[in-house]
Structures are given as C-alpha cells and as structure tokens.
Structure 1
Amino acid sequence: MKTDLEYLKGLMNVFLESSQPFIEISDLKNAGFDITTPQGLHHYSILIEKEYVSAFNLSRGNPEKLGYSYSLSSIDSVDYALVRLTAEGIEFAQMLQEPSIYEKLKGLSQSPLNVMKDVGSDLLKAFLKKKLDL
C-alpha cells in the first residue's frame, strides 16, 4: 500500500489539535481515522515503526502498547489506550502543517518517510530563515 501524505497529515493533526498531551485511540476514530481499516493500519503502523508515537509510559515501537490488540483472526484497536506524538513526531507533523512545505513534499510522497522528513526539515529551515530575513 502506498503512503497517502494527506491521510498521514490528517492523522497526525488529531494529535496536534488536542488540548491534552495524550489522546485516546478513540479520538483518532472519532476524527475519521480508524486504525483498524487497511488505510488506518498502514499509516498508524508507519508512525509506530518510525517511533513518532509513544504510549502513556513513553514506550515506543510496540503496537500492543500503542493501541492495538491482536487475536488469531483480527486486529482490533484498544480505544482507551493513551498515546502521544514523540518530539520527532511533532516535528514531522508541524512540517506537514506548513502549506508551502506540504505542497513540495506531496511531490515526494512515494519517497521513504525519512527522506520526506529530511527534505521537509531543510525546507522548514529555509522557510524560517527567509521569514526572519537571515
């Protein structure tokens, strides 16, 4: 499955828009991002693999601590699981929120996420330098 940058941006925006440091998985579902659908599973798993999300106890990389429950026949969400964006996740999410950077990154949407993050970081630095007349 290909990564949909618009979907990823919206998913991460749920975290950014929260007034709390942690959200429940149900908050993602209520915002239209069900992490058990194929699209949701793909994109939320990317955030887990890149360690852009952590659990209430700040553990990373373990889907069972980050909102998933597995059985022999299904993958379900644990709606009450508390999760947050890590510092790296916040940086990437904020890059995606800047319209000029997002538009440029859309052209790289099939590139590895690390490449998009590195390019986005460079674009953000250039954007801020220009904005501050440096």
Structure 2
Amino acid sequence: MRNDYSYIKQLLDVFLDHPQPDLKMRDLSQFKDVDDHKFVHHMEILIDRGLICAVWPNEILTFSRRIDCYLYPSSPIRLTADGHDFASELAKSGTLKVISERFQEEGLSVVIEVAKKLAKSRIEKELNKLV
C-alpha cells in the first residue's frame, strides 16, 4: 500500500484539534470505519517513525491481525514532540501541496525531512524580515 500524505494530514489533524492531549481509537472512527487496511497501514508507519505513542507506560502500540479484522490497541494514544512538529508543519499553507506534488512517492522519513526543511526555510524568511 502506498502512503497517502493527505490522509496522514487528516489523521494528524484529529490529534491537533482534539481538546485533550491524548485520544482513544474511537476518536479516529471516521477513518477506521471506512477502510481498516488504509487506517492501520498509516497508523503503523506513524508509530514506526515515532510520531505517535501510547500514553500508558510500557504499552506497545500494535494492531493484531485476525482473519477478517484488526484488534486495536487499548491504550490512549498521543502525538510525540516529533509528531507535533510534523503535524504542525503539514498544517501550514503550501506544505502538503509541495509534498503531494513533488514527494508523493517518497517514504515517510524523507517527507518528514522535507517538512523540516520547509519549516526552516519559512522561519528563516520570517526572521530576515524582522532584522
């Protein structure tokens, strides 16, 4: 399955817009109820890259596979500091467009680096205006 960075942005927006610092899997039901496979794929790569983690100590986020369904982790989940950085940058005007148009076929680690460089460039431009 290919990565869908628009979908990832939508997932991360739920975390950013949530009134609490963590959420439960049911808070993401609009994604998992539509396409379990797509949801699990994208959640697992976000977990693999350390952008999402479990709230409970020593809890490992895993999606157990069954014949016709997935079992979801029971721990509340949250964005890590890196997850907040990436989600915030994806929320900036133009970032998702650049990623979608020029880096759609790249893996998540490359896209995270692209987002960091876009943020750094934007910040340097803003700082130059102040000096």
* Match of residue 85, structure 2, among 83, 86, 91: 91
Q: Say whether the 8 Å CA contact 2:53–2:61 is kept in structure 1.
A: no
Please report how far the alpha carbon of residue 72 of structure 1 lies from its aligned counterpart in structure 2 after TM superposition. Answer: 6.2
* Match of residue 72, structure 2, among 71, 77, 86: 77
Instruction: In structure 2, list runs of 5 or more residues that go unmatched.
Output: none
* Match of residue 117, structure 1, among 103, 112, 117: 112
- Distance of aligned partners of 1:100 and 1:58 in 2 relative to their CA distance in 1, 3 Å threshold: farther
- Distance of aligned partners of 1:51 and 1:9 in 2 relative to their CA distance in 1, 3 Å threshold: same
TM-score by length of 1: 0.83
Distance, in Å, in 2 between the alignment partners of 1:100 and 1:109 is 14
Equivalent residues in 2 for 1:1-134, closer than 5 Å: 1-29=1-29, 32-34=30-32, 37-57=36-56, 59=58, 62-64=60-62, 68-71=63-66, 74-78=69-73, 81-106=75-100, 107-132=102-127, 133=129
Give the number of aligned pairs: 127
Structure with the greater relative contact order (CA < 8 A, sep ≥ 6): 1 or 2? 2
Stretch moving more, 32-41 or 89-98: 32-41
Q: Say whether the 8 Å CA contact 2:53–2:78 is kept in structure 1.
A: yes
Give the 4+ runs in structure 1 shifted more than 3 A: 68-74
2:31 aligned counterpart, secondary structure = coil
Instruction: In structure 1, list runs of 5 or more residues that go unmatched.
Output: none
Structure with the largest fraction of helix: 2
Q: Deviations over 1:23-80 (max 9, x none)?
A: 1110011xx21187111011011111111111112557x334xxx35556642225x6
TM-score by length of 2: 0.84
